[in-house]
Amino acid sequence: MLVLEKNPAWMQLQQHQATLKDLSLPQAFAQNPQRATQLSCQAAGLFYDFSKQLINQETLPLLIELAKQQKLNTAIAALKNGEAVNNTENRAALHHLLRAKEAPQDNAFLADCYQKINVVKQRMKAVADDIISGKRLAPCGKPFTHIVNIGIGGSDLGPTMIYQALKPYQQENIRCHYVSNISAFDLQRTFELIEPEQTLFIIASKTFTTLETLKNADAAKTWLSAYVTEENLGKHFYAVTSSPEKAVTYGIDESAIFPLWDWVGGRYSTYSAIGLSLTIGLGYDNFEALLNGAADMDQHFFNAPLEQNMPVIMALMGVWSVNFWHKNTLCIAPYDARLRRFPAYLQQLEMESTGKSSSLDNQKIGHATCPSIFGEAGTNSQHSFFQHLHQGTDFTPVDFIVAAQGVEGYQEHQDWLFSNCLAQSQALMSGKTETQAGFEQHKSMPGNRPSSTIMMQALTPKALGALLSLYEHKVYCQSVIWQINAFDQWGVELGKKISTEIHAAMFDDEKLSQFDASTQQLLQRYKQQKG
Ligand code: F6P
Q: pLDDT digit string (tens) for 439-477?
A: 888 999 999 999 999 999 999 999 999 999 999 999 999
Which of these, 376, 422, 374, 418, lies nearest to 49 by C-alpha position? 422
Residue 399 has pLDDT above 90, yes or no: yes
Which of these, 335, 340, 332, 339, lies nearest to 413 by C-alpha position? 335
CATH number, domain 42-92+294-430+452-482, options 3.40.50.10490, 3.30.420.40, 3.40.50.300, 3.40.30.10: 3.40.50.10490
Name, in order, each residue with C-beta under 8 angstroms of 397's C-beta and a sequence gap of 6 or more. 53, 317, 318, 321, 327, 329, 330, 331, 449, 450, 451, 452
Report the separation in Å between the CA atom of 257 and the middle of ligand 1, taken as the mean of its atom positions.
Answer: 18
* CA–CA dist 51, 60 (Å, integer): 11
Report the separation in Å between the CA atom of 206 and the middle of ligand 1, taken as the mean of its atom positions.
Answer: 7
CB of 158 sitting under 6 A from ligand 1: no
Residue 33 has pLDDT above 90, yes or no: yes
Run of H or E including 455: strand 451-458
Handedness of CA 134, 137, 141, 145 (dihedral sign): negative
Phi and psi at 219, nearest 5°, equal: -65, -40
Q: Best substitution site from 155, 277, 472 to test ligand 1's pocket, by max atoms within 8 Å of Cβ?
A: 155
Residue 279 has pLDDT above 90, yes or no: yes
What would the CATH number be for the domain defined by 96-287?
Answer: 3.40.50.10490
Report the separation in Å between the CA atom of 213 and the middle of ligand 1, taken as the mean of its atom positions.
Answer: 10
* CA–CA dist 153, 381 (Å, integer): 24
CB of 206 sitting under 6 A from ligand 1: yes
* CA–CA dist 162, 281 (Å, integer): 10
Q: Best substitution site from 487, 489, 494, 497 to test ligand 1's pocket, by max atoms within 8 Å of Cβ?
A: 489
What is the average pLDDT value for the chain, to the nearest integer?
Answer: 97
Name, in order, each residue with C-beta under 8 angstroms of 128's C-beta and a sequence gap of 6 or more. 276, 279, 280, 283, 284, 287
**Contact call for residues 82 and 107 (beta carbons, < 8 A):** yes
**Contact call for residues 451 and 400 (beta carbons, < 8 A):** yes
Pairing of the two strands 329-334 and 372-375? parallel
* CA–CA dist 402, 367 (Å, integer): 32
Q: Is 496 a catalytic residue?
A: yes
Share of the chain above pLDDT 90, in %: 96
Question: What pLDDT does 428 receive?
Answer: 97
CB of 153 sitting under 6 A from ligand 1: yes
Per-residue exposure over 101-117, b if at least 16 CB sit within 10 Å of its own CB, e if not: eeebeeeeebeebbeeb
CB of 345 sitting under 6 A from ligand 1: no
pTM (two decimals): 0.97
Which of these, 404, 399, 394, lies nearest to 377 by C-alpha position? 399
Residue 426: half-sphere exposure toward Cβ, Cα within 13 Å = 6
Q: How many residues does the chain have?
A: 531
In the chain, where are the structural domains located?
A: 42-92+294-430+452-482, 96-287, 491-529
CB of 36 sitting under 6 A from ligand 1: no
* Ligand 1 atom at minimum distance from 207 CA: 15
* Ligand 1 atom at minimum distance from 496 CA: 1
Pick the catalytic residue from 197, 212, 350, 352.
352
Question: What pLDDT does 75 receive?
Answer: 98
Residue 406 has pLDDT above 90, yes or no: yes
Name, in order, each residue with C-beta under 8 angstroms of 166's C-beta and a sequence gap of 6 or more. 282, 286, 290, 338, 459, 461, 464
Q: Whose CA is closest to atom 6 on ligand 1?
A: 266
Question: What pLDDT does 86 receive?
Answer: 97
Report the separation in Å between the CA atom of 348 and the middle of ligand 1, taken as the mean of its atom positions.
Answer: 10
Question: What pLDDT does 6 receive?
Answer: 85
Mean pLDDT of 92-101: 98
Q: How far is CA 284 from CA 32, 125, 277, in A?
A: 47, 6, 10
Run of H or E including 331: strand 329-334
Q: Best substitution site from 89, 91, 149, 206 to test ligand 1's pocket, by max atoms within 8 Å of Cβ?
A: 206
